[in-house]
Copies of this chain bind each other. A is one copy, B any other.
Amino acid sequence: MKVLIVGAAGMVGRKLVAALLAAGQVGGKAITSLTLADVVEPSPPGGAVPHTLVAADLADPATASRLVADRPDLIFHLAAIVSGEAEADFDKGYAINLDGTRHLFEAIRLAGQARPYCPRLVFTSSIAVFGEPLPAVIGDSHEHTPLTSYGTQKAIGELLLADYSRHGFLDGVGIRLPTIAVRPGKPNKAASGFFSGIIREPLAGLEAVLPVPDSVRHWFASPRAAVGFLLHAAAMDTSLLGHQRNLSMPGLAVTVGEQIAALERVAGPGAVALIRREPDATIAGIVAGWPKAFAADRARALGFVGDASFDEIIAIHIADELGGRIAGR
């Protein structure tokens, strides 16, 4: 099976590539080639699977045609301009997140006009398709209420995915990823950054700033769980989806206070002491409009498995990013 990953250089993309290479197969079919595309050419993966590395500008329709020219059997579409940038740069966000997605779907449809072609396409949507007013627990049939251009573009991607699947142009699964925690790497400027920062920094012996009250509740999945969702979507029986091709993934609804309690259980009070409370009304205001919890009943019934606890999410970070070691221990 030929696999194409669009957005292979991002955090989730790199972990997905590693998981695919480790498994060597998807749904029992051996991976025979891997094409890794991103706006900058991805790093070469290890392993014995033949691979192609592509620097790809999705805003150019010719890029998508080139990417599907060898008719991959399985396509992961992870590429996106992130929320903050898509909000600040209206044109760029629409050019990549809407037009880029449509170019990819169109390239697949047009390839199928030459001879039959209907690849599995796994699309990463986001809980950003939802914003206030929201119920405490968002059900599987709640309307899209995006409060960002990014969320709007992801919601449109979901609609296109369903329509292209209904016509038989592709075999799509859209998965709404929870906020990923613990996100590895340096602190960034994203409004959501502190959700990972208050765990990641103390585990590395560094101070972290907490800009919101302990009572704030949000919806999380570990990077490992996110990769698991992608792999399950790649191999699942899509006939079970009907025409509803997009699914809220099973995350964990956890308050900041519960995050901190988990940190203390895993790493002790010294780690917790590194969290500095510095209330920020702007960030608190943004976060207040975000989803807090999802039912995710459909995804669970279809075999998607989230993390068991926030302690487990922290343990995954320590195992996968820190070589099993906590700073100062």
On A, residues with C-beta under 8 Å from B are: 90, 109, 131, 133, 141-147, 149, 152, 155-156, 159-160, 162-163, 166-167, 242-244
Can you name 14 A-B pairs with beta carbons within 8 Å?
A: A131-B243, A141-B142, A141-B143, A142-B142, A142-B143, A144-B159, A145-B243, A145-B244, A146-B159, A146-B162, A149-B167, A156-B156, A156-B159, A156-B160
| A155 neighbours in B (Cβ, 8 Å) | 159
Task: Report the 3 A-B pairs with minimum CB-CB distance, sorted nearest first.
Answer: A152-B163, A141-B143, A143-B143
Q: With A and B bound together, what is the CA distance between A109 and B94 in angstroms?
A: 13
Tell me if B143 and A144 are in contact (CB < 8 A): yes
Residues of B near A159 (CB, < 8 A) are: 144, 146, 152, 155-156, 159
Which chain B positions have C-beta within 8 A of A143?
Answer: 141-144
In the complex, which residues of chain B have a beta carbon less than 8 angstroms from the beta carbon of A160?
A: 152, 156
B147 contacts A144, CB within 8 Å?
no
Q: Which residue of B lies closest to A155 (CB)?
A: B159
Question: Which B residues are in CB contact (< 8 Å) with A243?
Answer: 131, 145, 147
In the complex, which residue of chain B has the Cβ closest to the Cβ of A140? Answer: B143
Cα(A195)–Cα(B146), bound, Å: 35
- The distance in angstroms between the C-alpha atoms of A160 and B90, with both chains bound, is 12
Q: State in angstroms the CA–CA spacing of A147 and B243 once bound together.
A: 8
**Cα–Cα distance between A144 and B152 once the two chains are bound (Å):** 13
Q: How far is the CB of A129 from chain B (nearest CB, A)?
A: 9
Chain B residues within 8 Å of A144, by CB: 143-144, 159
**Most chain B C-beta atoms within 10 Å of own C-beta, residue among A133, A142, A145:** A145
A163 touches B146 (CB 8 A): yes
A240 CB, nearest partner CB in chain B, Å: 14
Complex Cα distance A242/B132, Å?
A: 10
Q: CA of A147 to CA of B141 in the docked complex: distance in angstroms?
A: 15
The distance from the CB of A288 to the nearest CB of chain B, in whole angstroms, is 14
Chain B residue with Cβ nearest A147: B243
| Partner pick for A167 among B90, B142, B156, CB 8 A cutoff | B90
Q: Which residues of B have CB within 8 Å of A167?
A: 90, 149
Known pairs A143-B143, A149-B163, A156-B160 / 19 extra A-B pairs, C-beta < 8 Å: A90-B109, A131-B243, A133-B242, A133-B244, A141-B143, A141-B145, A142-B143, A144-B144, A144-B159, A145-B243, A146-B159, A146-B162, A149-B167, A152-B159, A152-B162, A152-B163, A155-B159, A156-B156, A159-B159
